């Protein structure tokens, strides 16, 4: 059973040297390809390097929320769905975001924070101290395959750290 996913968005392109270092750190083996699997504390994960589509960073304008436009991403998917998989995914995403001044894209909507639903796009939102937690949660809307709009949440490093310590914590599946 597949588990939660998350991505780290970066304000600049990830160099080939940095990609190779990340793959080595994760234990992915020889460099090559866009996707690879790895183990984290004995749990199976997949990493994807680079945008998932050529238009990924232009479809949702995050520049007005962040003050910068994402230039690259590294995505992770847990291949299991236990609480430990959620924790490991958040820790890995947090570590990478801290190292590169990135933000975590939760690949959907968290249970806390505003939910933007409807028939049209909504204005992006910046929420300080969401749910009483430290940090900032960003919310945007995106168009689903059914044509309606739903919520996407992004968190800064302080928020992800606080969310991990919160009893309500879980990643998006």
Residue 172 falls within a domain, yes or no? no
Residue 37 falls within a domain, yes or no? yes
Q: Which residues pair with 19 in a beta bridge?
A: none
Residue 170 falls within a domain, yes or no? no
Residue 173 falls within a domain, yes or no? no
pTM of the entire predicted model: 0.91
Residue 171 falls within a domain, yes or no? no
Residue 123 falls within a domain, yes or no? yes
- For 10-21, the pLDDT digits (tens) are 999 988 888 888
> CA–CA distance from 152 to each of 14, 50, 61, 99 (Å)?
23, 19, 12, 23
Domain around 21: 5-165
- Which residue has 């390809």 as its token pair? 33
Sheet holding 103-105, edge to edge: 35-40, 43-49, 72-78, 5-10, 103-105, 149-155, 136-143, 125-128
Give me the chain's average pLDDT, please. Answer: 88
Rounded Cα distance, 121 and 105, in Å: 18
- For 102-115, the pLDDT digits (tens) are 999 999 999 998 88
Q: Per-residue confidence at 54, pLDDT binned at 50, 70, 90?
A: low
- Average pLDDT, stretch 111-140? 88
Kindly state the percentage of the chain with pLDDT values over 70: 92
Residue 152 falls within a domain, yes or no? yes
Q: How many domains does the chain have?
A: 1
């Amino acid at each position: 059973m597949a588990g939660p996913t998350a991505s780290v968005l970066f304000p600049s392109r990830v160099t080939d040297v940095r990609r190779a270092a990340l793959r080595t750190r994760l234990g992915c083996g020889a460099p090559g390809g866009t996707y690879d699997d790895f183990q984290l504390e004995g749990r199976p994960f997949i990493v994807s390097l680079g945008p998932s589509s050529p238009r990924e960073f232009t479809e949702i304008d995050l520049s007005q929320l962040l003050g910068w436009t994402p230039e690259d991403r590294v995505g992770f998917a847990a291949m299991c769905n236990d609480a430990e998989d959620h924790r490991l995914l958040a820790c890995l995403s947090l570590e990478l975001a801290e190292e590169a001044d990135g933000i975590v894209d939760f690949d959907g909507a968290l249970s806390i924070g505003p939910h933007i639903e409807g028939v049209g796009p909504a204005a992006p939102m910046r929420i300080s101290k969401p749910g009483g937690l430290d940090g900032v949660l960003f919310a945007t809307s995106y168009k689903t395959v059914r044509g309606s709009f739903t919520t996407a949440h992004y968190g800064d490093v302080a928020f992800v750290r606080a969310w991990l310590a919160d009893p309500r914590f879980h990643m998006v599946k």
